[in-house]
């Protein structure tokens, strides 16, 4: 523990006035939301109809069979998966097998975040590459730094947004179909190498 940094941060506190101010504004915001809640009764009714229909269809297609394991799975927010296949099974969508793009000496780690983001981390010598995929269009890189250079590169019908310091690229973002992708590179790599890697990953998606 850094005693001096602790002493610095101990100066940062919410005053009583700030606390009251924040609560007032939060309450005001919540009052606005409540006026729209009548719409949620309709949504609740629709959900119940879908839930009942789901039960009926499920039972029609699946006669009762003994469960292989009666214990209900309590999903963890972040789970390490032993293999790419296990990651795909957990996510419910295909994840590009980027292992084929690296030498046999490279090491791979598979993780899912909240069953929303699939992640493959590659350790190839001193180069670390984090590949992420999720449904939707958000930036899932987890990197919120402001980079000196942001450049868009078009390749094979896909726009890659590359962020870095000008000499190297550290983050790449792109979308393909209904999925969003991100690459994080530590250390940053030359743009030509990153572009080539992205093209190889695109080829895997086909």
Partner 1 sequence: MELAAGTIFFPNRFAADLTALYARTVLFAAKVINIFSREEDTDVTAEHLLDSYGDAMLRMAYSYLHNMEDAEEVVQDVLIQFLKETPTFNGSVHEKAWCLRVAANLAKNRIKYNKIRMTDELNDELIAEEREDLSFVWEAVKSLPDKYREVIHLFYYEGYSTAEIAGLLHRNEATVRSHLARGREQLKTILKEAYDFE
User: Which residues 59-98 are close enough to bind partner 1 by CB under 8 A?
Assistant: 61-62, 65, 67-69, 71-74, 77-79, 82-83, 85-86, 89, 92
State residue 95 phi and psi, 5-degree precision: -125, 130
Sign of the C-alpha dihedral, residues 106, 145, 197, 157? positive
Of the two residues 79 and 205, which places its CB atom closer to partner 1 in the complex? 79
- Cβ-Cβ contacts under 8 Å for 117 (sequence gap 6 or more): 132, 133, 134, 140
Of the two residues 132 and 191, which places its CB atom closer to partner 1 in the complex? 132
Number of residues located near partner 1, criterion CB under 8 A: 71
Give me the least distance between CB of 146 and partner 1, in Å please. Answer: 6
- Give the integer Cα–Cα distance in Å for 147 and 124: 24
Residue found by looking up tokens 């870095």 in the block:
164
Q: Is 50 in the site for partner 1 (CB under 8 A)?
A: yes
Near partner 1 by CB under 8 A: residue from 136, 164, 184, 188: 184
Rg, Å, the chain Cα set: 23
Q: Is 54 in the site for partner 1 (CB under 8 A)?
A: yes
Q: Is 148 in the site for partner 1 (CB under 8 A)?
A: no
Near partner 1 by CB under 8 A: residue from 117, 162, 169, 189: 117
Give me the least distance between CB of 191 and partner 1, in Å please. Answer: 21
Of the two residues 136 and 142, which places its CB atom closer to partner 1 in the complex? 142
Q: Is 102 in the site for partner 1 (CB under 8 A)?
A: no
Near partner 1 by CB under 8 A: residue from 105, 145, 192, 206: 145
- Give the integer Cα–Cα distance in Å for 182 and 15: 40
Of 171, 172, 93, 173, which Cα lies nearest the Cα of 135?
93
Report the phi/psi class of residue 197: left, alpha or beta, with left for phi > 0 and alpha for psi in -120 to 50: alpha
First-to-last CA distance in the chain?
Answer: 50
Of the two residues 143 and 205, which places its CB atom closer to partner 1 in the complex? 143
Q: Is 113 in the site for partner 1 (CB under 8 A)?
A: yes
* Region binding partner 1 by CB under 8 A among candidate stretches 32-40, 95-103, 155-163, 193-201: 32-40
């Amino acid at each position: 523990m850094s005693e001096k940094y602790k002493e610095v941060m101990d100066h940062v506190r919410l005053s009583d006035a700030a606390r009251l101010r924040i609560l007032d504004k939060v309450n005001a915001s919540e009052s606005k939301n409540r006026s729209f809640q009548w719409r949620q009764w309709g949504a609740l009714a629709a959900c119940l109809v879908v839930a009942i229909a789901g039960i009926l269809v499920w039972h029609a297609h699946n006669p009762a069979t003994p469960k292989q394991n009666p214990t209900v799975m309590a999903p963890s927010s972040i789970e390490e998966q032993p293999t790419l296949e296990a990651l795909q099974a957990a996510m419910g969508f295909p994840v590009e097998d980027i292992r084929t793009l690296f030498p046999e000496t490279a090491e791979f780690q598979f993780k899912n975040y909240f069953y929303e983001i699939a992640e493959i981390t590659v350790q190839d010598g001193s180069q670390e590459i984090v590949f992420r995929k999720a449904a939707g269009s958000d930036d899932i890189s987890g990197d919120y730094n402001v980079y000196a250079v942001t450049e868009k590169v078009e390749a094979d019908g896909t726009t890659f947004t590359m962020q870095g310091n000008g000499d190297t690229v550290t983050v790449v973002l792109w979308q393909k179909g209904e999925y969003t992708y991100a690459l994080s590179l530590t250390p940053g790599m030359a743009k030509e190498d990153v572009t080539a890697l992205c093209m190889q990953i695109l080829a895997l998606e086909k």
